Every structure is written in C-alpha cells, then in structure tokens.
C-alpha cells in the first residue's frame, strides 16, 4: 500500500533539507561539501565545516545518500532557480554556489511545510560525537533480550548481529539481580523516555523493536504503513533518537537503567569529543610530544596530525594551543576573517601574508568557533 505520491514527497524533503544545509555554505564551500556533510563523511574538513557553520543536525543525516540521487536533487534545485553554481578565483578552480532569493523563499516554505526546525532541534555539538546508530542497536538488543528473559526463552536469534553490541548487552545483564531490575523497569523507563514525543515518533521507535512475542518492523515497512517517504521517516527517527539521548543526558537520575546507554560510549573510545584517531593524538600531545614526533610514532602524515590539532582546538577548550599559535596572531586572524566576512583560508592568508600558515588560520578559526559554542 505505497501511496503514489511518496516519490514526489521524497524529492521535496530531500530538496528542502539539502537547500537548508546549503544556505550557510553559499559562496564559501562547494556543493560537494554539503553532500559530504549529509552523508556524514569522517574527513576532518567535513567535521570542521559542520562546526564552523553550525550544521550539527545535518551531519550524517542520510548515510546512504547515493551520488546519483544527490546529483538529481542538485539539478532540480538549479532548474527551479533556487541555486546557481559559479566558479570564482581563489578556490583552486573549485566552484561554489549562491542561493537565490527564490531559493531562500522555497527553503523557508518547505521548511515550514515539513516542520524541519522542529525535527532538527535536538542536535547539538556534543551529539555530533555520539554514535546514534550504536545507541539504537543497543536499545534494540536490550529490549529483545529482556523480553526473552521475561518469557524464560533464551533460545532466540538476536536481531543485532554486531558482536560488540552483543557482548555489551551481555555485560549489562550479567547477573540475576540486575536482570530482575531490567525486567521490572525497562518498560517503564522507555515509557517515561518516549511518552513526551509526538505519537508518530513513538511509533517509529517502538514499532521497530522485537520481543519474544512480536517481531519488529523494518524502517521500510513502518514508513509504508505510516505513509511517510524514506527521508521523512529518517528525519523523524533521528529526531526521536537525538531527543532520547538529550533527555537521558539532562535527567540521568530519572533513568537508573537507560542512562548506561550514555556512559558506555565514553569508556569504549577515549575522549568522546574527538574522532578516534584525534583522541590518540591528543593523548600524546598531553604528554608534551611534538607534532613531527607524533607523526613518526603513530606512522601517520604530519598533515594528519595537524588536522587533529584543529579538531582539538575546536572541541577541547582546555587544550593550551600556544605552542602552535600565539594569542596575538589568533586575534589577528579572527579579526581578518570577520572583516572580510569569510571563513575561506586562501582569502585570509592572502590578506595576512606568507608568515601566517594555513595551520595558524585553521587553529585560530577553530578555537574561535569552539569558544562560541562551548
């Protein structure tokens, strides 16, 4: 029972999301950069763009976005007169784009129609480093396992095949006393967590779960039943996950069981604010090792270490960057950026002269941005 207008709505939702993500990047970045953000590319450049332009809700919104589909969305937006691609000097021949007045109008119209501001509201800088997919798989397998425990039938096939998720769940439910608590209260805690959410979102979350007496629906099945296009579904699903995480974060004491879903992520991968690799670099930096030595020790390129430094500048306000950037120079760079009204490194560098390196500029902008958000 798939309604025939689903495809049309899918195009509209994708266009609306893409266009809203494009607006802050107009004149500054390529269209490709927007695509990388929506797909959730792990490159440092992409992560920096997300921070620099506060595009947190958009990062990894559509992890399976194909290039083909993206090109189609872009050409639709061009045809509608919403955006224009143009080549400018000073970007190594790369082309940027502008969003037309019609584009701005269309973005806000569609934004209202599909309630984008609402569904994008719970995403913060902190959430960026939190893995929502792992969070969801853990909930999924916890519910299934506790349900099977309650039914006293442990011969079940887990819906989550990921070994690490399986051993994590096993660890949480290792002894009898703890198990009883989960059996007694998991349903209540989930109810408390999800009942404030809109009914559609509740249905998307709970409808996918599997228990001893009930097999969950796939996202495709639920979307069809609820008459949502795949991207609409994804928008609401991510809203549900992000809201759950935020709420658990804010009211830890109220969720004595479910709050472990937050703790565990920290233990597993070092400094949760950083990418895995950057966290390793940060650990070495804290021991006073220079960037050339870090590159040698870790067998990575020095430029990669520099990427990590920028990430640290962005997300670790306690890090003292003075070894790489004096506060005077930082201030000068930020000032220039504001005066020129751009975050483009090349333009800033041309203005300040050769003794200022790209690393200086990137660190200064990142630090400035990090302070603004923390």
Partner 1 sequence: MSTSLQAHLQRHFGYETFRAGQEDIIRGVLAGANVLGVLATGGGKSVTYQLPALMLPGITVVVSPLISLMMDQVQQMRAQRRIAATYLNSLLDPADMREVMREIERGMYKLVYISPEKLQQSYVQALLKKVGVSLIAIDEAHCISQWGHDFRTDYLRLPEVVRALGNPPVLAVTATATTAVREEICSLLKIKPEHVVLQSLNRKNIAIDIIPAADESERRSQVLRQMDEWKGQGIVYCSTRQAVEVLATSYQLEGKRRVHAYHGGMNSMERMLIQQQFLSGDLDMIVATNAFGMGIDKPDIRFVIHYQLPANMEAYVQEIGRVGRDGEAGYAALYYTREDVQIHQYMIEREYPTRRQIDLLAELLRQQQPLTPEVLASIELTQEMADLLLFYAQRVSTASREEVAASLEPGMELRDHADQVYGELERRKLLKQRKLAEMIRFAEERENCLRKRINGYFGEMGHEYTLQCCSVCGLERSLYKESRQTENVGRIETSWDLRQALSVLLPK
Give me the residues that bind partner 1 (CB under 8 A), please: 1-2, 137, 140, 143, 146-147, 150, 154-163, 183, 186-187, 190-191, 194-195, 199, 202-203, 206-211, 213-221, 224-225, 227
Residue 26 or 190: the one with the smaller Cβ distance to partner 1 is 190
Kindly give the interhelix angle for 358-373 and 345-352, rounded to the nearest 10 degrees.
120
Residue 110 or 147: the one with the smaller Cβ distance to partner 1 is 147
Residue 74 or 186: the one with the smaller Cβ distance to partner 1 is 186
Joined together, the tokens standing for residue 154 give: 């442990």
Dist. CA 235–CA 237, nearest whole Å: 6
The answer to whether residues 223 and 241 touch, using CB atoms and an 8 Å cutoff, is no
Dist. CA 145–CA 167, nearest whole Å: 12
Dist. CA 49–CA 44, nearest whole Å: 8
- In the complex, minimum distance from the CB of residue 369 to partner 1, in angstroms, rounded to a whole number: 34
- In the complex, minimum distance from the CB of residue 350 to partner 1, in angstroms, rounded to a whole number: 36
Residue 66 or 290: the one with the smaller Cβ distance to partner 1 is 66
**CA nearest to 273, candidates 65, 126, 97, 123:** 126
- In the complex, minimum distance from the CB of residue 80 to partner 1, in angstroms, rounded to a whole number: 28
User: Burial letters for 53-85: b for 16+ Cβ neighbours within 10 Å, e otherwise?
Assistant: bebbbbbbbbeebeeebbeebbebbeeeebbee
> Is the C-alpha dihedral spanning 46, 49, 54, 58 positive or negative?
negative
Phi, psi values for residue 98, rounded to 5°: -120, 150
Residue 97 or 168: the one with the smaller Cβ distance to partner 1 is 168
Task: Provide the pairing of β-strand 83-87 with 95-99.
Answer: antiparallel
- In the complex, minimum distance from the CB of residue 237 to partner 1, in angstroms, rounded to a whole number: 13
Joined together, the tokens standing for residue 268 give: 């597993």
Dist. CA 50–CA 63, nearest whole Å: 15
- In the complex, minimum distance from the CB of residue 39 to partner 1, in angstroms, rounded to a whole number: 16
Joined together, the tokens standing for residue 10 give: 């899918």
Residue 301 or 339: the one with the smaller Cβ distance to partner 1 is 301
Residue 3 or 286: the one with the smaller Cβ distance to partner 1 is 3
Dist. CA 131–CA 164, nearest whole Å: 14
- In the complex, minimum distance from the CB of residue 271 to partner 1, in angstroms, rounded to a whole number: 20
Helix (H, G, I), strand (E, B) or coil at 123: coil
- In the complex, minimum distance from the CB of residue 158 to partner 1, in angstroms, rounded to a whole number: 7
Residue 144 or 336: the one with the smaller Cβ distance to partner 1 is 144
> Is the C-alpha dihedral spanning 135, 66, 42, 246 positive or negative?
negative
Residue 1 or 372: the one with the smaller Cβ distance to partner 1 is 1
- In the complex, minimum distance from the CB of residue 222 to partner 1, in angstroms, rounded to a whole number: 11
Which residues does residue 87 pair with via DSSP β-bridges, in sequence order? 95
- In the complex, minimum distance from the CB of residue 46 to partner 1, in angstroms, rounded to a whole number: 21
Which residues does residue 85 pair with via DSSP β-bridges, in sequence order? 97
Dist. CA 193–CA 247, nearest whole Å: 7
Phi, psi values for residue 214, rounded to 5°: -155, 130
């Amino acid at each position: 029972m798939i309604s025939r207008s689903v495809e049309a709505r899918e195009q509209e939702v994708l266009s609306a999301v893409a266009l809203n993500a494009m607006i802050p990047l107009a004149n500054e970045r390529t269209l490709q950069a927007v695509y990388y953000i929506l797909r959730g590319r792990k490159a440092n450049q992409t992560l920096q763009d997300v921070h620099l332009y506060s595009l947190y809700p958009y990062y990894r919104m559509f992890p399976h976005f194909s290039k083909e589909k993206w090109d189609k969305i872009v050409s639709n937006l061009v045809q509608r007169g919403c955006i224009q691609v143009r080549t400018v000097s000073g970007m190594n021949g790369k082309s940027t784009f502008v969003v037309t007045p019609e584009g701005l109008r269309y973005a806000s119209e569609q934004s209202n129609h599909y309630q984008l501001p609402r569904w994008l509201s719970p995403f913060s800088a902190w959430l960026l480093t939190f893995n929502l997919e792992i969070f969801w798989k853990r909930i999924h397998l916890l519910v299934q396992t506790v349900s099977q425990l309650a039914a006293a039938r442990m011969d079940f096939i887990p819906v989550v095949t990921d070994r690490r998720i399986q051993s994590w769940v096993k660890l949480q439910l290792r002894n009898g006393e703890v198990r009883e608590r989960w059996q007694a209260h998991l349903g209540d805690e989930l109810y408390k967590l999800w009942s404030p959410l809109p009914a559609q979102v509740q249905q998307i979350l709970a409808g996918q779960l599997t228990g001893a007496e009930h097999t969950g629906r796939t996202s495709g099945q639920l979307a069809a039943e609820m008459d949502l296009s795949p991207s609409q579904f994804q928008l609401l699903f991510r809203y549900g996950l992000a809201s759950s995480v935020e709420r658990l974060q804010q009211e830890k004491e109220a969720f004595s069981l479910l709050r472990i879903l937050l703790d565990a992520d920290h233990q597993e991968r070092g400094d949760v604010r950083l990418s895995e690799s950057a966290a390793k670099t940060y650990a070495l930096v804290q021991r006073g090792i220079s960037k050339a030595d870090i590159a040698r020790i870790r067998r990575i390129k020095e430029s990669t270490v520099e990427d990590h430094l920028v990430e640290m500048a962005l997300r670790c306000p306690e890090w003292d960057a003075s070894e790489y950037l004096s506060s005077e120079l930082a201030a000068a760079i930020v000032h220039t950026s504001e005066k020129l009204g751009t975050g483009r490194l090349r333009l800033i560098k041309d203005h300040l002269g050769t003794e200022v390196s790209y690393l200086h500029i990137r660190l200064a902008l990142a630090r400035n941005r990090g302070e603004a958000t923390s």
